[in-house]
């Protein structure tokens, strides 16, 4: 059975791109446009093993989503963001993100980080 992931990004083309990269690699992928929607999807699909999220989104941004997920304790989060300053990366990692990937990114980079987190590795890219 395929491992289930959630991709959260308010930009439809980026959400679709990340989802396609991951689904082409054999993952089952759900999508959400912002953090509040992501929490709803997570409640409906407890089989989700990892979240890939942007930072800058309306309604609930990725940092607030990280805070809410940290309280729940699951699942691990990989952040992908155009906001690629050292400060943004440190904030995301400080709030519990397992890895940070700056946009634009290569599909191989995303797949490497996701696989590392799912198999207990990790690290920032």
For residue 55, the domain's CATH number is 3.40.50.2300
Q: For residue 51, what are the domain limits?
A: 4-118
Strands (E), the chain: 4-8, 28-32, 48-53, 77-81, 99-102
pTM: 0.91
Give the span between the Cα atoms of 87 and 2, in whole angstroms.
35
The sign of the dihedral angle between the CA atoms of 30, 63, 88, 34 is positive
Give Rg (Cα) of the chain. 13
Answer whether residue 125 is part of any domain.
no
Taking only the tens place, the pLDDT of each residue in 71-80 is 887 799 999 9
Taking only the tens place, the pLDDT of each residue in 2-14 is 899 999 999 999 9
DSSP bridge partners of 7: 31, 52
Domain count, the chain: 1
């Amino acid at each position: 059975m395929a491992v289930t992931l959630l991709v959260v990004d308010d930009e439809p083309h980026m959400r679709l791109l990340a989802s396609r990269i991951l689904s082409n690699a054999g993952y089952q992928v759900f999508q959400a446009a912002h953090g509040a929607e992501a929490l709803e999807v997570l409640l409906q699909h407890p089989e989700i093993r990892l979240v890939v999220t942007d930072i800058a989104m309306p309604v609930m941004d990725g940092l607030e989503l990280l805070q809410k997920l940290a309280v729940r304790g699951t699942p691990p989060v990989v952040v992908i963001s155009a906001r690629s300053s050292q400060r943004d990366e440190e904030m995301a990692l400080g709030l519990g993100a397992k890895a940070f990937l700056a946009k634009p990114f290569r599909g191989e980079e995303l797949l490497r980080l996701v696989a590392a987190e799912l198999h207990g590795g990790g690290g920032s890219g």
